[in-house]
Amino acid sequence: MVLLRKLPGMPGWPAALGLRLPQKFLFLLFLSGLLTLCFGALFLLPDSSRFKRLFLPRRATASASSSSSASSSSASSSSTRDTELPRSPPAAAEPRHASPAAPRRPREKLRTAARMAGPNRTAPGPRQQPQGGESRAQPAGSEPPARDTRAPFRFDYERFRRSLRHPVRGGRRGEDPETRARRMKIKEMMKFAWDNYRQYALGKNELRPLSRNGHIGNMFGGLRGATVIDALDTLYIMELQEEFQEAKQWVEQSFDLNVNGEASLFEVNIRYIGGLLSTYYLTGEEVFKNKALQLGEKLLPAFNTPTGIPRGVINLGSWSWGWASAGSSILAEFGTLHLEFLHLSELSGNPVFAEKVMNIRRVLSRVEKPQGLYPNFLSPVTGSWVQHHVSIGGLGDSFYEYLIKSWLMSDKKDSEAKKMYDDALEAIEKHLVKKSAGGLTYIAEWRGGILDHKMGHLACFSGGMIALGAQHGPQDSRQRHMELAAEITSTCHESYTRSDTKLGPEAFRFDAGSEATATRLSERYYILRPEVVESYMYLWRLTHHPKYRLWGWEVVQALEKHCRVESGFSGIRDVYSTTPTHDNMQQSFFLAETLKYLYLLFCEDDVLSLEDWVFNTEAHPLPINHTDFRAAEQP
């Protein structure tokens, strides 16, 4: 499978090898045998394999799933998983989901009512929630949570709000007019992105801004409205009241959880669960909490594996599949559940969610780590690594992010997470951090001991993460880590400034004479990703060096110039072309993350203060646990 994936990128391969005719014939024979084998193997893959879906039509997939057995080898399925594209790929051509060049970072509006109802609570309803367990408050028409065997429980929202140190949308005024004007510009971009989505694609997952229609994709297993859920908290924070109401109304009336189909556990968690949870915490509106809890229940069967390490793909519509199917789970996927799942337990009073992720923690802290590094693939059956590829970009990234954020979210009580983070960062510093000939610091990837001098756009979140973690170390490491964070962020900025569009490529390299530039055609695209502006935002908040706002503004201008089209924002296929081709896709994370981080970059520090919130890997803010603010009714 690895071989196959590389083929398309090697035009005229046999010829290039200088083979003679008979050799060519043999070679082709061999190749066709291999192809047949591989295609046949598709039927043996674990039914979770998204790879299979690329090749088999929906119905065939279903029947293949039911007939597939646990016999598939974990080796073949792991390399298959390698091809997955958890995050949306350069759009338009679906099969490009399989491009190994674009694994999404597994590491993926509301002023409205609040204004009317006062700063603390937006809607009526939440408060009159009964305390009895039988009738956990539900908006009319929604389904009861799947289980309700627990003692009466009520999350005390008012108490939670009192525990915050700053108003969620900030309280300070008196900034300079230019900063305000820039912030307003970003708000206008958000409104434009939302309005077009609403007009042409409401209820679909994403907007296709050139063809003016909706995109559904296959990551969410029949769930719809990814852009709605992802946009909610951004609309709220930006005080786009009307738009927030539109989004909320869609959630109340049209967001259907009774769906069938295979979904990425990771993507559903970071986008849907994350978006719903954060909107609940920001507004107190029960509908968001209820939807989050109902959806959370549907994710639990994914954990029925011998190790408790969840499978990457779950079927939202059926509970029938067993745990035996092999295949490996991706570090950044199962390592990016912790924040949301703790909140699912917090809000439901049901400890099962927290238990599931604490078990993942346990498995990971026990398993042997080569050189202290965490490889990207683990078998949910045996609990051991499937191969030794380490990256802080796609596939690995948000696992590290969630360690430090778990500690921060626990109000610095989860010292196990801090220790794991510190150890991992030390190993990364020791083995992966490099300096290029031109003096740029970057984080390389590691393949079984061999370094690949490449950094993905996805890995650019690490500047912000390292800066965030540096705040809490001992003095010497604190300074070293702040420098490292600033250098990495600066390298990522270079990857932007060295392109003609001033937007950065999907991956850039430091070898064969290249310095922070993409060398391969397949790595030159930009799909509205947030990681670079995410790091600008953290470094701005933590250092207040004005360059970060300048760099953020450069991105705003480049987005306006190259990505804004008549009906929304689109990714581009080549950042080195001054007349780039658009990919016709407005990713939902553009509204959730890119625009939110840009906006926050031009806000005062008390807007979604880092003292009160941690951002999940889709930029949905979750509250730091200042107190045990749960209500007392718990047994």
Ligand X SMILES: *[C@@H]1O[C@H](CO)[C@@H](O)[C@H](O)[C@H]1NC(C)=O
Strand partners, 465: none
Which of residues 11, 118, 177, 439 is near ligand X by CB under 6 A? Answer: 118
- Whether 252 is catalytic: no
Alpha helices in 92-143 (DSSP H): 111-117
Tell me: does residue 79 bind ligand X (CB under 6 A): no
Least spacing, CB of residue 503 vs ligand X, in Å: 37
Which of 72/410 has CB closer to ligand X?
410
Alpha helices in 527-618 (DSSP H): 531-543, 547-558, 588-589, 595-601
How many residues sit close enough to ligand X to count as binding (CB under 6 A)? 11
Tell me: does residue 121 bind ligand X (CB under 6 A): yes
Tell me: does residue 628 bind ligand X (CB under 6 A): yes
Q: Closest residue (Cβ) to ligand X?
A: 118
Residue 561 CB: number of other CB atoms within 10 A? 13
Which of 349/580 has CB closer to ligand X?
349
Q: Binding mask 441-480 vs ligand X (x if CB under 6 A, - otherwise)?
A: ----------------------------------------
* Residue 67 in tokens: 């007939």
* Residue 287 in tokens: 């509908």
Q: Considering only 59-67, 115-123, 200-208, 228-236, which stretch makes contact with ligand X by CB under 6 A?
A: 115-123
Select which of 285, 333, 397, 523 is catalytic: 397
Select which of 267, 401, 414, 494 is catalytic: 267
- Whether 604 is catalytic: no
Is 617 labelled a binding residue?
yes
Least spacing, CB of residue 137 vs ligand X, in Å: 17
Select which of 82, 285, 531, 618 is catalytic: 531
Which of 197/236 has CB closer to ligand X?
236
Q: Tokens 């510190």 label which residue? A: 422
Strand partners, 385: 378
Least spacing, CB of residue 530 vs ligand X, in Å: 25
Tell me: does residue 120 bind ligand X (CB under 6 A): yes
Decide: 398 and 336 in contact? Cβ < 8 Å.
Answer: yes
CA-CA distance, 609 to 525, in Å (whole number)?
A: 33
Which of 121/454 has CB closer to ligand X?
121
Tell me: does residue 635 bind ligand X (CB under 6 A): no
The DSSP-derived string for 15-84 is HHTT--HHHHHHHHHHHHHHHHHHHHHHTTS-TT-HHHHHHS-HHHHHHHHHH--TTS-HHHHHHHHHT-
Q: Considering only 57-65, 74-82, 117-125, 480-488, which stretch makes contact with ligand X by CB under 6 A?
A: 117-125
Tell me: does residue 410 bind ligand X (CB under 6 A): yes
Residue 38 CB: number of other CB atoms within 10 A? 15
Least spacing, CB of residue 403 vs ligand X, in Å: 14
Q: Tokens 């920001």 label which residue? A: 282
Q: Considering only 22-30, 180-188, 338-346, 469-477, which stretch makes contact with ligand X by CB under 6 A?
A: 338-346
Q: Binding mask 339-378 vs ligand X (x if CB under 6 A, - otherwise)?
A: ---xx--x--------------------------------
Which H helix or E strand runs over 509? Answer: strand 507-509
Which of 79/617 has CB closer to ligand X?
617
Decide: 588 and 205 in contact? Cβ < 8 Å.
Answer: yes
How many residues are listed for the chain in this entry?
A: 635
Q: Considering only 29-37, 116-124, 365-373, 539-547, which stretch makes contact with ligand X by CB under 6 A?
A: 116-124
Per residue, what are the HEC states of 267-334? HHHHHHHHHHHHHHHHHCCHHHHHHHHHHHHHHHHHHCCCCCCCCCEEECCCCCCCCCCCCCEEHHHH
The β-bridge relationship of strands 621-623 and 450-452 is unpaired
Least spacing, CB of residue 122 vs ligand X, in Å: 8
Q: What DSSP character marks residue 11? A: T
- Hey, is 458 helix, strand or coil? helix
Q: What DSSP character marks residue 176? A: -
Tell me: does residue 117 bind ligand X (CB under 6 A): yes
- Whether 243 is catalytic: no
Decide: 460 and 441 in contact? Cβ < 8 Å.
Answer: no
Least spacing, CB of residue 345 vs ligand X, in Å: 6
- Whether 397 is catalytic: yes
Which of 17/116 has CB closer to ligand X?
116
Least spacing, CB of residue 517 vs ligand X, in Å: 42
The residues, ordered by sequence, that sit 6+ positions from 323 with a Cβ below 8 Å of its Cβ are 304, 305, 306, 311, 380
Tell me: does residue 625 bind ligand X (CB under 6 A): yes
CA 42 to chain centre: 27
Which of 102/614 has CB closer to ligand X?
614
Strand partners, 213: 208
Tell me: does residue 163 bind ligand X (CB under 6 A): no
* Residue 499 in tokens: 């392109």
Q: What DSSP character marks residue 442? A: E
What is each CA distance from 174 to 177, 541, 604, in whole angstroms? 9, 18, 10
Q: Binding mask 215-244 vs ligand X (x if CB under 6 A, - otherwise)?
A: ------------------------------
Which of 432/622 has CB closer to ligand X?
622
Q: List the catalytic residues.
A: 267, 397, 506, 531
Binding site for ligand X (CB under 6 A): 117-121, 342-343, 346, 410, 625, 628
Binding positions are 617
Binding positions for Ca(2+) are 617
